Amino acid sequence: MASTTLEPGLKPAPASGKTFLGHPRGLATLFMSEMWERFSYYGMRALLVLYMTAAVADGGLGMKAAVAAAVYSVYTAMVYLLALPGGWIADRFLGARKTVAVGGVIIMAGHFMLAVPMSVSFFVGLAFIAVGSGLLKANISTMVGHLYDGPNDPRRDGGFTIFYMGINLGAFAAPLVIGTVGQSVNWHLGFALAGIGMALGLTQFLFGTRHLSPQSDVVTSPIPAAEKRAVFRKAGLWLALAVVFYGIVALTGHFTINWAIWPLSIAGIAIPIFVFAKVKRDKDLDQAEQSKMSGYIWFFVAAAVFWMIYDQSGSTLSLFADNNTASTLAGIHFPSTWFQSLNPLYIMALAPVFAWLWVALARRGKNPSTTMKFAFGLLMIGGSFLVMMLAMAAAAGGTKVTPLWLALVYLIQTVGELTLSPVGLSVTTKLAPAKYASQMMGVWFLAVTAGDCVAAIFQLGLGDSVVGSTWYFAVQGVMAILAGVGLAMYRKRVVKLMGDVH
């Protein structure tokens, strides 16, 4: 997360008479940059699975639905997994500002690669976007924190609220603009619009850097020359081995997309296990810290189950919208990509309500515990897939169901998100051992990676005959509900492990 202290002699932000809604002028730069970056990301995401499953004659890749959903799941998993090295690169090599700029250039290049009508360019472009997003995502929020004078600055929370509003504005507009153009006019023109969106965000960022805090240029823990050589040597060795291995697989004619999906999915599950095993074996942690980490694992697993279902909004739910949902409501015709705008719309409408609700309940001594909020989030996400089961059953025989089914599903999921995601960020900072205080936020994002990789394995293993069926939605929905009930039943044990954190 954002550092809350400044290096000696550095001020929080350049002096300026101008402000942005009462906040440092640099917030406008970061707000607009992130809004356009999210516009490009969510616009591309709205088209991704639809493009991959579209027939070759219609300009798509002609993939099976299960394979396309698995590619999508692995791609989103890598975006969050690569946020860990993205933060490390900023801390050890470049500083936050330069890392964000480099990430923006890579993302833009990736989107324009998707605009080229070649399958090889498409997959290379996805890799570029994932790498660039890892560099940018890990550091732009940190730069918002740099604008303020420490954690007690009264403007700080409001600044982050404005910043995250930019995220949701970009996410809301993207499917309406990029989705419409890509789905109704030309897939690759839609991807090109995503690249233009990222170019606008990058331009805003580069021209507005003078308004940012000097701390955003600081490399907080510069890597020594000897260690740098060792890192490059190891990275080069692993890269060479990967090139040789996949070169042999390709030249012998055995390469398929599975050779990428399976290793990445397994890595996305194995890495969080390795990280927790490393922390739990750390003898520098006292008994209280070890107990809190044991409690945190419960929340991590619950979050992974949640994201496994939630992140299918752009895959299985997108396919349902396109294949099984009527594209007309109240006489208005619209592309299926528009459904992707519902979640950010609901968030903008409901987030202030939930913020007020928790405060109001706390005043009455009735604020639910973190464990119960997580359990409720799991019940909601599981319930959303049970609603999808009913919607899929209603669509049997080729019937096009009303768009209200998906509107309800996204509403239920958003309510679940608002009870779990912000609370998860908070409990991560509270339970983190002092030694791993800065790293634990990256570990929290690994829950998304693990959940999406489990989804990819399910999708690839089950195949087209099951993925997107009533049973597919029913089994995952019941699994999430059972996880929520289990967490609620064992809440006293979890609370005990949390020690003095409530």
pLDDT for res 431: 87
pLDDT exceeds cutoff 70 at 5: no
Greatest alpha-carbon pair distance for the chain in Å reads 70
CA–CA gap between residue 398 and residue 44 (Å, rounded): 28
CA–CA gap between residue 427 and residue 499 (Å, rounded): 12
pLDDT exceeds cutoff 50 at 9: no
pLDDT exceeds cutoff 50 at 4: no
pLDDT for res 17: 57
Give how far Cα 264 sits from Cα of 53, 199, 270, 501, Å.
21, 29, 10, 35
pLDDT digits (tens, 9 = 90+) for 350-373: 988 988 888 888 888 888 888 999
CATH architecture of 277-502: Up-down Bundle (1.20)
pLDDT digits (tens, 9 = 90+) for 134-171: 999 878 888 888 888 866 677 876 788 788 888 999 99
pLDDT for res 393: 95
pLDDT exceeds cutoff 90 at 321: yes
pLDDT for res 8: 40
CA–CA gap between residue 175 and residue 144 (Å, rounded): 26
Give how far Cα 328 sits from Cα of 97, 182, 338, 392, Å.
45, 19, 11, 18
pLDDT exceeds cutoff 90 at 439: no
Share of the chain above pLDDT 90, in %: 62
- Neighbouring residues of 135: CB distance < 8 A, sequence distance ≥ 6: 82, 86, 89, 90, 99, 100, 102, 103, 106
Tell me the HSE value of 279 on the side-chain side, using a 13 A CA sphere: 23
pLDDT exceeds cutoff 60 at 15: no
Helix, strand, or coil (residue 286): coil
pLDDT for res 453: 97
pLDDT for res 151: 63
pLDDT exceeds cutoff 70 at 10: no
Beta bridge partners of 24: 19
Q: What is the mean pLDDT of residues 462-470?
A: 91
User: What letter does residue 353 receive in the DSSP assignment?
Assistant: H
Q: How confident is the model at residue 22 (pLDDT cuts 50, 70, 90)?
A: confident
pLDDT for res 203: 95
User: Is the CB of residue 385 less than 8 Å from the CB of residue 393?
Assistant: no
pLDDT exceeds cutoff 80 at 11: no
pLDDT digits (tens, 9 = 90+) for 191-226: 999 999 999 999 999 999 999 988 889 888 888 989
User: What letter does residue 222 receive in the DSSP assignment?
Assistant: P
CATH 3.50.30.40 for domain 19-223, yes or no, is no
Q: What is the mean pLDDT of residues 80-92?
A: 89
pLDDT exceeds cutoff 90 at 72: yes
Q: What is the mean pLDDT of residues 82-98?
A: 89
Q: Where in the chain is the domain with CATH 1.20.1250.20?
A: 19-223, 277-502
289-291-297-298 Cα dihedral, nearest 10 degrees? -140
pLDDT exceeds cutoff 50 at 456: yes
Q: What is the mean pLDDT of residues 306-324?
A: 96
Q: What is the mean pLDDT of residues 278-285?
A: 88
Q: 22 burial class (0-12, 13-18, 19+ CB within 10 angstroms)?
A: exposed
pLDDT digits (tens, 9 = 90+) for 378-422: 999 999 999 999 999 999 888 899 999 999 999 999 999 999 988
Q: How confident is the model at residue 18 (pLDDT cuts 50, 70, 90)?
A: confident
Q: What is the mean pLDDT of residues 466-481?
A: 95
pLDDT digits (tens, 9 = 90+) for 172-190: 999 999 999 999 999 999 9
pLDDT exceeds cutoff 50 at 6: no
CA–CA gap between residue 381 and residue 292 (Å, rounded): 26
CA–CA gap between residue 19 and residue 28 (Å, rounded): 9
pLDDT for res 155: 81
Q: What is the mean pLDDT of residues 123-129?
A: 95
Q: How many other CB atoms are found less than 10 A from the CB of residue 377?
A: 28
